[in-house]
Amino acid sequence: MGLEPKNLQSSIPVPSVQELASLQLEAVPSRYIRDDMESIISTVASDNSTLRVPLIDMAKLVDSESHETELQKLHAACKEWGIFQLINHGVADESLRNMNKQTQEFFDLPLKEKKRWAQKPGSLEGYGQAFVTSEEQKLDWNDMIFLKALPIEDRNLEIWPENPPKFRESLDRYSQDMRQIAVALTRFMAMGLEIETRELCAAYEDGLYQIRMNYYPPCPQPERVTGLASHVDIPGLALLLDCGDTPGLQVLKDGRWIFVEPLDGAVVVDMGRITEVSGFFGAAPAELNRKTFFSFLSSSACPNEFT
């Protein structure tokens, strides 16, 4: 399964995975079956602490006594992994809970209602599935909604759901919170590189913020499908919130897929093509619904966008 960038301009409409799952099929349609899943599973690393994604504590970066030690850990994580988990990042639990709740309520809406905010021809924004560019292409076992969040003037409110009623409010706060994390992180990353922090932080304050909310319904054959096919992310930072209690997200490190252990409230930070170290792969759930939120953050100096 390659990591080449896909055509990001639009996506061909495909059936809702959530609707397929509601049919309680014994087997998934052939278009979702991945012939290479066995080779992927064979490269999943066993439980080994030396292969765990680094854990960075923002509170220790801020604290004067622990700052230098944690800054060295951050620098090593960026250089050697290109990905890490961030805890104590300062974003209120309420913001994360509300975003999770509103997203769940959106995907719980009838299909006809969700389609009010469906992707339009020539655009990836809206409700649907991403990166479908041909009728023969294998599909991921997820539905998603993808929206431009910041700057505010870039928002296309025609496809920002008004139902559930608090969805827009929750997404607005969540996107502001993710920007807060990105700006703080770039400051510390610049410190680790011993370069000027002001211009880099300003670039992320004014940059483009896009959010993709993925919904993974239960799958009758999770060992034969992917929830999220392997890929690399856009230039800049990708911040991921995984709302599952069991490992689902995997990252590619030294030719092996490594599970990212879920930590309540932790944000997974991916350096994207800045480092070209990591790839993402999402496993489909066997029984429980799962959600992930990807925030793609491009600096104003490199305003790469999906749509």
Q: What is the mean pLDDT of the chain?
A: 80
Domain edges within the chain: 17-298
The reported pLDDT for the residue numbered 307 is 40
Which residue from 212, 232, 218, 226 is spatially nearest to 282, judged by alpha carbons? 226
pLDDT single digits (tens) 157-213: 999 999 999 999 999 999 999 999 988 998 898 887 776 677 767 767 778 899 999
Give the DSSP per-residue string, 11-80: ------HHHHHHTT-SS--GGG--TTHHHHHHTBPPS-GGGSPPEEEHHHHHSTTTHHHHHHHHHHHHHH
Bridge partners, 258 (sequence order): 251
pTM over 0.75: yes
Do residues 119 and 11 make contact, with C-beta atoms less than 8 angstroms apart?
yes
Superfamily of domain 17-298: B-lactam Antibiotic, Isopenicillin N Synthase; Chain (2.60.120.330)
Reading phi first (left if > 0) and then psi (alpha if -120 to 50, else beta), residue 233 is in: beta
Do residues 204 and 297 make contact, with C-beta atoms less than 8 angstroms apart?
yes
Q: What amino acid is encoded at 233 in this protein?
A: D
102's tokens: 């509103």
pLDDT single digits (tens) 64-90: 999 999 999 999 998 888 889 999 999
Q: For residue 58, what are the CA distances in angstroms to 21, 112, 189, 289? A: 39, 42, 12, 30
Which residue from 123, 140, 104 is spatially nearest to 14, judged by alpha carbons? 140
Query: What is the C-alpha to C-alpha distance for residues 147 and 293, in angstroms, rounded to an integer?
Result: 11
